[in-house]
């Protein structure tokens, strides 16, 4: 993508992860395959908890196929908007940067065995909307070729 975190330093809205990505959240999205057609739809339940600059984000995804996927991220915020994260299906450490109203994350993820077990280079962009909803766009590459794209929203669950 031809964008950089510095492109989002303008404006008054700041994406504060412990504030905006916190508590019980609902995620809804689609995954596009290499031809640009939707290959999967999903909903996710997230629980995000912070202690200072360290956070844990537990994710539970339900796909239109009936498959359920779980992931738990360990997040660390550092000076200058830097972010590092780990999860069981990542190869190495995720590195990221918060800048203004956006967050960029880069990591390598290993797909489940039933999906081929391939390792994908991933770039996530999360953008904070004025109402607090987070819009996420992820591109997955193999050998430099985009093989999938994910578009999703994340928002706080309504309290009942």
Question: What are the structure tokens assigned to 102, written together?
Answer: 């956006």
Structural domain boundaries of the chain? 13-154
Query: pLDDT for 35-91, tens place per residue?
Result: 999 999 999 999 999 999 999 999 999 999 999 999 999 999 999 999 999 999 999
**pTM recorded for the entire structure:** 0.92
Mean pLDDT of the 27-33 span: 97
* Euclidean distance between CA atoms 137 and 160, whole angstroms: 29
As assigned by CATH, the class of the 13-154 domain is mainly beta
Average pLDDT over residues 93-103: 96
């Amino acid at each position: 993508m031809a964008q950089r975190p510095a492109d989002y330093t303008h404006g008054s809205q700041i994406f504060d992860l412990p504030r905006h990505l916190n508590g019980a959240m609902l995620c809804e999205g689609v995954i596009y395959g290499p031809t640009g057609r939707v290959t999967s739809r999903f909903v996710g339940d997230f629980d995000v908890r912070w202690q200072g600059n360290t956070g844990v984000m537990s994710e539970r995804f339900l796909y239109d196929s009936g498959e359920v996927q779980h992931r738990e991220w360990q997040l660390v915020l550092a000076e200058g908007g830097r972010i590092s994260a780990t999860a069981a299906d990542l190869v190495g450490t995720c590195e990221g940067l918060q800048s203004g109203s956006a967050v960029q994350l880069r990591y390598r993820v290993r797909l489940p065995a039933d999906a081929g077990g391939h390792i994908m280079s991933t770039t996530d962009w999360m953008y904070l909307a004025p109402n607090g909803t987070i819009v996420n766009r992820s591109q997955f590459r193999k050998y430099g070729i985009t093989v999938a794209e994910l578009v999703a929203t994340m928002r706080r669950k309504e309290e009942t």
